[in-house]
Each structure stands twice: as C-alpha cells, then as structure tokens.
Amino acid sequence: MTDRFVADDLGTAVPLPAPPRRVVSLVPSLTEALAVTVPDRLVGATDWCTHPAGLDVTRVRGTKNPDRAAIEALQPDLVVANQEENRRLDVERLRAAGVPVWVTVIESVDQALASMRRLFTEVLAVGTPGWLDRATTEWARPAELPGTRVAVPVWRDPWMVIGARTFTGDVLARLGLVNVFAGSADRYPHVELEQLRAAGPELVLLPDEPYLFTADDGPEAFPGVRSVLVSGRQLTWYGPSLATARAELLAAVGGRPVA
C-alpha cells in the first residue's frame, strides 16, 4: 500500500510510491517524449506510435482499443494516456486491475508544455528535458503571421476541420493565424465543402494525418485559395516535435525559414 499519490491532469490521485521504471504509453506524442527522454523505462506503446523511428517495444494495439491483457502482462508501474486520445472505459478498467494510469489533458500549447514538465519532473523524477526547454523558448516568441485566415481540414468525405478548444487551434493562434472555424461549438466540426469554402479562408493547411492529404488529393477542392501541405506531426503532436514545429510551420507557410 502506497502513501504517495500525485494528481494527474484530471486531478485523479495516482499511486506512485517511487518514480516509475516500467511505462506503457497509449499516445503517440507521449511515446515519443518518453522514448527520447527515458528510453530505458518505456516497455510498451500502441501500433500508432511511429516516432522515434525504429522504436522497439511491445505493441499493445491502438489508442481506442488497447489490449489491456497485453498491457497488464507487461507489469507496468505506470500507463500514460490522454483524455482526448483514449477511452475512459480503458483507463477505468486498467485502474481496476491495479495498474496506475496517468491521464494528460492537452488542449493548448501551454497545457502541453506544463503537462510534459510535470510528467518528467514530478512523476518520472528526471528533470526537465532539453527539448522541452527549447520548445518553451520557441513558443514564447511573438506571432509572425498576424491576421491570415486559415482552415485546417483533418478529414474528407465527410469533411472535418479543426474547430474550437484544440491543441492545433492554439498552435494556429500562436503563429498569428485566424482559424475561420474557431467559433464553432464543436472541437472537430463536420462541414460541407461549400460551407468550408464560404468561411473565406485565405490559406488552407492540409496535414498528412489523420487523413493523408497529398498534392493530388486535397488542393483541388479549394480553387483560388492557397493550399499548403504540412506535416500533421507539426500541427498535432506535443512531444519533442514542439521544439521544431513552430519554425517548420512558419517555413511551410512563408514565415521565417527553419534555422
């Protein structure tokens, strides 16, 4: 029985008698952050965890359908998850089986930076990673693309776009871009193509995930509007990629070049 608990991002008290040594990640961003910072502690990850390249850990299926038996078999002393990416049911069942689960809540750049800092300093007790310090400095810079109206589709047939209260939406705002769907009641609203066009974006960013937009699949839907293919990882991941994402996005849309 432990007498040490640490509250996760949802305020849930997670039993942590000592810094975890065996960690399973159910979120690609968290997986990359752990693999880069504490590679010896990461023992399991989802099939969708693609970074860093060549990651050699046990796979535990997907973010929405994790193999709980496989996770338990790894005997982790911590599973890291995310409120948006993972199901409450899976978190609750893992906890009922005696597996501590740390849930992150990340809907903005500041939340990402703070959540990652807590994970590494308070939970894993390894101090602040260098990439996190670099990311903090980078995202403290002033906006460089003020006022450009932008839309960011993340799926087509049906079309879905970035709406309100999302990490990606905050990334756009921190660059100075104005998301034409920021006032939506939904975080990822479904829209008709004509509605998307009528919103009046001056720029359409087409990421390669979750839908793989390409030069032949996406730009043709927006005649007369500048479309730019970008890395979905730059827009949606909040691990080590945060250290370079701002400069890479600015370079992609015509801001300052990557150093």
pLDDT recorded at residue 2: 59
State the DSSP H helix or E strand holding residue 104, giving kind and residue range, or none if neither: strand 101-104
Kindly state whether residue 135 falls inside one of the protein's structural domains.
no
Burial 241-259 (b: 16+ CB within 10 A, else e): bbbbbbbbbbeebebeeee
Same domain, 35 and 72: yes
Q: Tell whether 9 and 109 lie within a shared domain.
A: yes
Residues 27 and 122 reside in one and the same domain: yes
Name the percent of the chain lying above pLDDT 90. 93
Task: Please tell me the pTM assigned to this model.
Answer: 0.91
Last residue of a domain, one of 64, 94, 128: 128
Position 142 in a domain: no
pLDDT band of residue 1 (cuts 50, 70, 90) is: low
Question: What is the distance between the alpha carbons of residues 113 and 182, in angstroms, rounded to a whole number?
Answer: 22
Q: What's the full length of the chain, in residues?
A: 259
Banded pLDDT at 256 (limits 50, 70, 90): very low
Residues 192 and 119 in one domain: no
Pairing of the two strands 226-230 and 78-82: unpaired
Q: Judge whether 141 lies within some domain.
A: no
Domain coverage including residue 238: 149-253
| 93 has a pLDDT exceeding 90 | yes
Q: What percent of the chain has a predicted confidence (pLDDT) above 70?
A: 97
- What is the number of structural domains in the chain? 2
Q: How far apart are CA 47 and CA 231, in angstroms?
A: 19
Task: Average the pLDDT over 138-146 and give the result.
Answer: 90
